[in-house]
């Protein structure tokens, strides 16, 4: 005789076992291992932490480098060099006539605040009011040049001479000025010419220059 009272009890046990197996399967991974929940990291979280910026008072201030000291210029003496055109004042001195000659001192005066020198012959040229040269360049008379040192305010002179046109019969012109160029310079100084006609061509029309000497005339 079959025991029918235990059948419902077995059915209940079988249903419980099936339900438990389903719960275990739902918690397992694909390979049957348990899967632990993963922590969630915000996408905006910066895992690299920078040290705080130093305040202006905490920042290191570089120490300025001082230039190497140079010898003091006090007491240094500037080497004496030739006088430049811009440092000089030019003038034509009073005529010194003699033996049919007309002689004039060309005077250069040091108008600067430094000492400078002149050496040799000046350049000279008579010009008209338009600046055109009258006659050929003067010739240099024989002489022995020497260096003339000019302190501020000192002068040196060179002689300019020619034969009197009334005696020589040379063709003449009346200049408006005389261009005087210091030795070894290119820029001249224009000096007004007030001594009348000068020879520009023909016999005995040569104008001559002498070397510089100290002073303002013979």
Domain of 171, CATH number, reads: 2.60.40
The pTM score is 0.64
> Domain range for residue 136?
81-214
Torsion angles phi and psi, residue 208, rounded to 5: -120, 155
Per-residue pLDDT at 129: 96
Sequence-distant (≥ 6) Cβ neighbours of residue 83 within 8 angstroms:
108, 110, 112, 116, 117, 118, 150, 182
- Determine the pLDDT at residue 26: 44
The answer to the question of residue 86 being in a domain is: yes
Let me know if residue 154 belongs to a domain. yes
Other C-beta atoms lying within 10 Å of the C-beta of residue 178:
24
The pLDDT score that the predictor gives to residue 52 is 47
Task: Evaluate whether residue 7 is within a structural domain.
Answer: no
Q: Is the pLDDT of residue 42 over 70?
A: no
Instruction: Encode pLDDT of 172-207 as tens digits.
Output: 999 999 999 999 999 999 999 999 999 999 877 899
Spatial contact of 200 and 173, defined as CB atoms under 8 Å apart: yes
- Among residues 178, 181, 213, 209, which one has the least CA distance to residue 192? 178
Residue 60, domain member (yes or no): no
Percent of the chain with pLDDT over 70: 64
Total domains in the chain come to 1
22 assigned to some structural domain: no
CA distance 38 to 209: 113
Flag whether 26 is in a domain. no
């Amino acid at each position: 005789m079959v025991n029918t009272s235990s059948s419902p009890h077995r059915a209940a046990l079988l249903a419980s076992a099936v339900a438990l197996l389903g719960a275990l399967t739902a918690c397992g991974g694909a390979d049957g291992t348990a899967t632990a929940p993963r922590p969630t990291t915000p996408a905006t979280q910066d895992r690299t932490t920078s040290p705080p910026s130093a305040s202006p008072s905490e920042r290191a201030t570089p120490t300025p480098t001082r230039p190497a000291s140079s010898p003091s210029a006090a007491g240094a003496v500037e080497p004496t060099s030739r006088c430049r055109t811009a440092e000089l004042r030019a003038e034509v001195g009073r005529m010194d006539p003699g033996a049919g000659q007309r002689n004039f001192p060309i005077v250069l005066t040091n108008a600067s605040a430094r000492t400078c020198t002149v050496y040799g012959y000046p350049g000279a040229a008579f010009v008209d009011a338009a600046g055109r040269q009258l006659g050929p360049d003067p010739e240099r008379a024989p002489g022995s040049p020497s260096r003339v040192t000019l302190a501020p305010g000192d002068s040196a002179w060179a002689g300019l001479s020619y034969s009197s046109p009334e005696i020589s019969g040379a063709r003449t012109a009346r200049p408006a000025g005389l261009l005087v160029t210091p030795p070894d310079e290119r820029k001249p100084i224009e000096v007004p010419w007030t001594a009348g006609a000068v020879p520009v061509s023909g016999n005995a029309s040569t104008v001559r220059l002498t070397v510089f000497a100290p002073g303002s005339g013979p």
